[in-house]
Amino acid sequence: MIKNYILDTNVLIHFPGCIYTFEDNNIIIPIICLEELDNLKKKEGILGYQAREAIRELNRVREYGNIHNGVKLPNGGTLRVELNHMNPVDIPDGVDLNKNDNKILTVAINIKNESKEISTILVTKDLCVAIKAESMNLDVQDYQSDKIDVDKIYKGYKEVSLSSAQMDKIYQGGLKLTKRIGIEAYPNEFLCIKSSDKGSHETLAKFDGNKIVPLEYANDKAWGLAPRNREQKMAFELLMDEKIHLVTLSGGAGTGKSILSVATALQKVIENNVYDKIIFVKPVVSAGDAIGYLPGTEDEKLKPFMDSFGDAIESLMTEKNKKQSIEKNDKLGKNARKRGECNEKPVFSVENFLHQYKEAGIIEMKTFAFMRGRTLSNSMVIIDEAQEMTPHLAKLMLTRAGINAKFVMIEDPSDNQIDNTLVDSKSNGLVYVVEKMKPYEITGHIALEEVERSPLAKIAEECL
């Protein structure tokens, strides 16, 4: 049965292509939404970009017909801009009719009263608008088309049971997945295997799209860093494998997403010359002033947002220098250490390190605003805070990929780590990418769970 869907401005901003996802129903956009988009298009950062994209998408619709009369969309639905239905006769006293949200509610109520034979639904991502709409007896819902069930989201690995003979075959050229084995897996999905006939026999392996095979990088290190737990080993395998062009990593604070990614990037670019450069990218979503109001050059403006990468580099270099210092002290002998003689702490500055490699064109630090129109080839691109991205932005970022590029997207999926009002834990760019890209042989995902940063960080992640 045909329904009327009235779209709030935030839905258009969240996903500019949403107008094509309502099947053969009527899509109604109150004129006040266009006014809001017109005001928001001047904003910097994600919000302004999404508003401009929404306007462009609505402009494309005009190719299909006259938007005043209602445009027939390719999927069978119709779209129109609602200019009337602003009479507040059925709006309760106390509602401020000067607010745009309440004007949209007024339009929805009047269309509902006029079209009693058709179900009218207000679609909004604003919780306050949703509460007010329901209190006024309006049908209301969040935009659902890109919602992912967090409880069922792909983790990138599963627990399975095999016989010892089958487990041995993994190390003898690989084990084919047949119907008799009864295991289904996506390409680059990891299998935590326990023996069905020998209780102590277990192993970790990967499905390469054809066979179950052993881990290739189980004994390797990147920039001196070795994975500490099972999930980190799986993530490390994906990061080190040059045949995998997209790696997505999710996990709470301290699970090792950033440091593993940065260590692998330094190893692949500076040590092994597999890629020409490292590009660190962050969607700039701040609680205070926008990036344009910060003083200084581009690098100085970006520094507050990019410190997480600097922290990872500092940790890696400190550990590396510590090991070199220990090796040097061992050569001096035990007697020198007993007399209290010691070497000075190695001098290292993240700023100098980054400056040196930026000057050489080996490291770049960018926000999303600087990515549009670029083709990133022969690069390892690390996109941090991917939970702040909308699905539309995630798509736009990944379409920057050129020849011999590897993209790494990392995020903390919990709602309390998302500052972008356009997304939540079920609809952000990374969870959308994880679910859509999991069937492909050049992609891989791992959900990290174990906190390794420190005992305090572990307790805080679990208890607070």
The backbone torsions φ and ψ at residue 122, rounded to the nearest 5 degrees and listed phi first, read -90, 125
> Domain for residue 433, yes or no?
yes
Give the N- to C-terminal CA distance of the chain in Å, as an integer: 46
Mean pLDDT of the chain: 85
Q: Measured between alpha carbons, how far is 208 from 188 in angstroms, rounded to an integer?
A: 5
- Average pLDDT on 330-359 reads 63
- In tens, the pLDDT along 271-327 reads 999 999 999 988 765 433 444 444 555 566 556 556 778 788 888 877 766 565 555
Tally the domains of the chain.
3
The pTM score is: 0.76
Percent of residues in the chain assigned helix, strand, coil, to nearest 5 = 40, 20, 40
pLDDT at 420 over 50: yes
> Domain for residue 227, yes or no?
no
- In tens, the pLDDT along 238-250 reads 999 999 999 999 9
pLDDT at 131 over 50: yes
- In tens, the pLDDT along 183-209 reads 999 999 999 999 998 878 899 999 999
Q: Are 18 and 136 in a shared domain?
A: yes
Q: Are 129 and 157 in a shared domain?
A: no
- In tens, the pLDDT along 148-165 reads 665 678 999 999 999 999
Write out the two tokens for 385: 């805070």
Query: Is the dihedral angle over the CA atoms 419, 409, 223, 363 positive or is it negative?
Result: negative
> Domain for residue 361, yes or no?
yes
Q: Are 344 and 428 in a shared domain?
A: yes
Nearest to 205 by CA among 232, 170, 166: 170
> Domain for residue 224, yes or no?
no
Residue 330's H or E segment, with its range, is helix 298-332
CATH of the domain at 431: 3.40.50.300
Domain boundary (124, 141, 158) is at: 141
Q: Are 349 and 425 in a shared domain?
A: yes
Residue 321 near residue 349 (C-beta atoms within 8 A): no
Q: Are 311 and 451 in a shared domain?
A: yes
- Reduced to 3 states, what is the DSSP secondary structure of residue 180? coil
With cut-offs at 50, 70 and 90, classify the pLDDT of residue 350: confident
pLDDT at 269 over 90: yes
Q: Are 40 and 137 in a shared domain?
A: yes
Q: Are 183 and 137 in a shared domain?
A: no
Dihedral angle computed from the Cα positions of residues 246, 250, 253 and 257, in that order, rounded to the nearest 10 degrees:
-30
- Average pLDDT on 443-463 reads 84
Eight-state DSSP code of residue 270: I
Domain boundary (86, 118, 141) is at: 141
Query: Is the dihedral angle over the CA atoms 39, 41, 44, 47 positive or is it negative?
Result: positive
Q: Are 239 and 330 in a shared domain?
A: yes
Distances (CA, A) of 57 to 8, 15, 191: 15, 10, 43
- Average pLDDT on 363-389 reads 86
Structural domain harbouring 38: 3-141
Please report how the helices 230-240 and 257-266 are oriented relative to each other, as an axis angle in degrees rounded to 10: 30
- Average pLDDT on 411-440 reads 81
Residue 213's H or E segment, with its range, is strand 211-214
Residue 391 near residue 146 (C-beta atoms within 8 A): yes
With cut-offs at 50, 70 and 90, classify the pLDDT of residue 427: confident
> Domain for residue 441, yes or no?
yes
- Report percent pLDDT > 90 for the chain: 53
Query: Is the dihedral angle over the CA atoms 99, 101, 107, 112 positive or is it negative?
Result: negative
Most confident of 46-50, 85-89, 143-147, 287-291: 85-89
Greater confidence, 442 or 386?
A: 442
Domain boundary (214, 243, 268) is at: 214
pLDDT at residue 299, as a whole number: 62
Write out the two tokens for 206: 């990967």
